[in-house]
């Protein structure tokens, strides 16, 4: 798979506590300026581990300002148990078609934890992602 770096939110980003992705995407205008239904694909590149029963929530947020001072969650997963977050685990979140925000980012919430290890990659996609049965 080829990933354009301008559509990447995280590149094997270590996530041990609640944090935003390393990068955001500027659509250059409010709304879906790219012109297609957008999805964000998350891929675990290094297995997660935590203390006790740690969980992680993956989310896509939008805002009209790149500082994300009033970020709105557009789509999110349930709390995912660390035991599922093995290398190769992937999830896709659809960006709602009516989301009219110029800036998009991902947000990782360690819902119970902390995590002691784990890395994740996230990027925009334009078609349903093949997840090999996941």
Q: Using one digit for the tens of pLDDT, what is the confidence trace for 28-76? A: 765 544 556 789 999 999 999 988 889 999 999 999 999 999 999 999 9
Q: How confident is the model at residue 119 (pLDDT cuts 50, 70, 90)?
A: very high
Q: Which residue has the higher pLDDT, 101 or 107?
A: 107
DSSP secondary structure string, the chain?
----GGGEEEEEEE-SSSEE-S--EE-SSSS-TT-S--EEEEEEEEEEEESSS-EEEEEEEEESSTT-TT-EEEEEPPPEEGGG--TT-EEEEEPPTT---SEEEEEEEEEES-EEEEEEEEEEESSPPP-TT-
This prediction's pTM: 0.86
Q: What is the pLDDT of residue 120?
A: 97
Q: What is the pLDDT of residue 63?
A: 94
- Kindly state the percentage of the chain with pLDDT values over 70: 83
Domains of the chain: 14-125 (2.60.120.1110)
């Amino acid at each position: 798979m080829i990933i354009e770096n301008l559509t990447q939110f995280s590149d094997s980003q270590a996530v041990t506590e609640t944090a935003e992705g390393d990068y955001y995407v500027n659509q250059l205008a409010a709304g879906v300026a790219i012109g297609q239904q957008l999805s964000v694909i998350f891929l675990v590149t290094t297995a997660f581990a935590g203390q006790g029963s740690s969980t992680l929530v993956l989310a896509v947020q939008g805002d009209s300002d790149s500082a994300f001072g009033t970020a709105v969650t557009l789509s999110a997963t349930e709390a995912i148990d660390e035991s599922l977050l093995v290398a190769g685990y992937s999830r896709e979140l659809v960006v709602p078609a009516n989301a009219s925000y110029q800036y998009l980012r991902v947000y990782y919430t360690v819902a119970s934890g902390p995590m002691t290890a784990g890395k994740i990659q996230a990027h925009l996609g334009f078609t349903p992602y093949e997840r090999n049965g996941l």
